[in-house]
Chain A
Amino acid sequence: MSESAERSPVDIDDYVTIQRFLYAEMALLDRRAYQEWFALLTDDIHYRVTTVSARPAQDETSRFAIIDEDAQTLKMRVDQISDPNLTHAENPPTLTQRLVSNVEAYYGERNGVFETTSSILLYANRSGSPKTGLYGGERQDVLIRNSSGIKIAERTVNLAQTILPDSTLSLLL
């Protein structure tokens, strides 16, 4: 983020809290506890996943969304892959391991708001298939802490991908 120079990094206690949160949240997705994961989002969540249309290096990067959801539409996505009777893409479930690293965290303008960036690598192996999908990218989150803990208010996952390698994306990152 370009403005990161002006923002102040969180202190070590907050950093550990945020890191733990990001790990625990990804563990929920790897365990397919999608509804529990959904409960960690604010009611006004804005959740986006983008890919790239390749341009010459001297041009600006052309990013565009392949997922752009509010709470209502994201809930449908979550409900669909949560229910074995309502999904073919995730039944049998894709075997996944999500790696989160390079976490940077800053205090947002309001109290209790954190802006974080992190790297994500999603290893996804469709059951019964020798193929493995790898989805890597940078995430930009806005997290909010209140008395009940941390919630995600905004997430943008900027995948380093132009063509999705393994068909369509039914998973969350």
Chain B
Amino acid sequence: MESDATGWVDVERGLVSREAFVSDEVYQLEIERIFNRSWIYLGHETEIPNVGDYVVRNLGNAPVIVVRDTPESVKVLLNSCRHRGAKLCRADAGNTRNFVCPFHGWAYEIDGALRTTGFDHHFREDTDFSTMGLVPAPNVESFYGLIFASWDEAALPLRDYLGDIGWYLETFFNRTPGGMEVLAPPHRWRSKANWKIGSLNFIGDSQHSPTTHIGPSTLDSARTIRDGFRKHGQDSFHVVTDEGHGCTLTYLAPGMPEKNYHTHSETLKPLYDKSLSPDQSSMLHHLRVCVGTVFPNMSFIESQVGAGEKALIVRLWHPVSGTEMEVLSWVFAEKEADQGYKDRVLRNGFHNFGAAGVFEQDDMVLWESATAASNNPIAQQYPYSFQTALPYFDTPDENHKWQGRAHRPADTEIAQFWFMQRWDALMRTNESKSDE
């Protein structure tokens, strides 16, 4: 597909071509122009605490091993032997001292260097084995334990790429001295839906909640939060930041008397005040829900639904094709929290948002239906509407105190259209940043 063949996003009219949400050609171009150039979230350092621990993930559509090769460092290696391509690791996770290919026996160190082919004596004498290690991702960085990698040699430093959304991530992942830890292996499921629907949903699709989630918002599981909003009113807004990131924050209406760090463990509250800046703690003090997306396909949500503890969840929308994604979902809690609290956060978290989540189950069938119904030329004559972004798109909230650009009202598609515009800009670039 040629670079001038875009025009998927109509900025003037707030429309996006349906082709962008189903086409396998678009998917291939996304891999090339977005997934192989951006920083992609792969997992959390607490999943691989010890040297030799590894998890198997995808960087773009390339299978990779994320391995702790020394106590201080993590490597991301293409999970494909340099000889004839077999996978070094065929499990989801494990611990190893080295990677030995099961096909013909090439052996690699855990940092990926080739130790021996087993047949070194049959190679020509001038063979440079030092160039024949497992292919490493050139850029791997961790942001408060969140491991990101990029295939792009010339990628911006991760902190610059995250920019202002980093301030919000830091508030969630660095609010105690010990930081956050993953509580269980990620839930995984395959959905016949385009990956961008997930990213858009989490960056700020407030409009879907009352209808998609009529179940949990009618039943007890969302009672506390619903009743609070009914009684006191709610204050909700989008935050968008450079590179296409964003989030939606929801509070009770201003002036409502509320406990600081509502529903968080009492033992953790003093630690928050120690770790967070004054602005960050005031952001977190009365927060009810924060849901956001780090471009392109990592999302997060901290939400209090039901009477239980808030759960912090990270989500990966891994693209499989134009019409399918694999979803990974992790639940986090503070390292310092006691086990009982962690257990409750985990259960509460995946009761709502997980492979059998009472929210997720209704999301998924509707996302799948949108993907299925859009995958035909008749439907593709009629673009998706993001029109409720338009009246507000150029008028950010000037009183916003924190990082990023805030927009109201939140029951609009401002953040989603922000994401689509960044997507469009990247899809139009033919050259990678390194060639600019």
Contacts and interface: CB of A to CB of B under 8 A. Distances in A.
Contacts of A83: 215
A28 interface: no
Interface string B187-204: 111111000000000000
Contacts of B361: 87-89, 168-170
Interface residues of A, number: 37
A64 interface: yes
Given A163-B189, A166-B190, A80 B350 contact: no
Contacts of A168: 189, 191, 354-357, 360-361, 364
A76 B221 contact: yes
A77 interface: yes
Contacts of B215: 80, 83, 86-88
B326 A80 contact: no
A77 B191 CA distance: 21
Interface string A53-87: 11110010010111111001100110110010111
A80 B219 contact: yes
A149 to B, nearest CB: 28
Contact of B350 (A53, A68, A88): A68
B185 A64 contact: yes
B187 to A, nearest CB: 6
A88 B354 CA distance: 16
A98 interface: no
B92 A53 contact: yes
Contact of B358 (A55, A77, A126): A77
Given A163-B326, A169-B355, A55 B362 contact: no
A167 interface: yes
B194 to A, nearest CB: 13
Interface in B34-54: none
A49 interface: yes
A164 interface: yes
A163 B364 CA distance: 15
Contacts of B192: 131, 167
B11 interface: no
Interface in A151-173: 162-170
Indicate the member of B93, B95, B186 with the most A CB atoms within 10 Å.
B93
A65 B94 contact: no
A125 to B, nearest CB: 13
Contacts of B218: 86
Nearest to A72: B220
A54 B254 CA distance: 48
A66 B189 CA distance: 11
A89 B369 CA distance: 11
Interface string A2-42: 00000000000000000000000000000000000000000
A51 interface: yes
B86 interface: no
Contacts of A56: 91, 94
B373 to A, nearest CB: 11
B366 interface: yes
A55 B351 CA distance: 25
A13 B210 CA distance: 51
Contacts of B93: 53-55, 62
A151 B400 CA distance: 56
Interface string B320-362: 0000001000000000000000000011001100111110111
Given A73-B351, A76-B220, A89-B361, A53 B356 contact: no
A111 B192 CA distance: 49
Contacts of B187: 51, 66
Counting from the closest, the 7 A-B pairs by CB-CB distance are A53-B185, A164-B189, A86-B215, A170-B361, A80-B215, A89-B361, A169-B356
30 contacts: A53-B92, A53-B185, A55-B93, A56-B91, A59-B91, A59-B95, A62-B185, A65-B184, A69-B347, A72-B220, A73-B221, A76-B216, A77-B358, A80-B219, A85-B214, A86-B215, A86-B218, A87-B362, A88-B212, A126-B365, A162-B92, A162-B188, A163-B188, A167-B191, A167-B365, A168-B189, A168-B355, A168-B356, A168-B360, A170-B361
Interface of B: 90-95, 184-192, 212, 214-216, 218-221, 306, 326, 346-347, 350-351, 354-358, 360-362, 364-366, 368
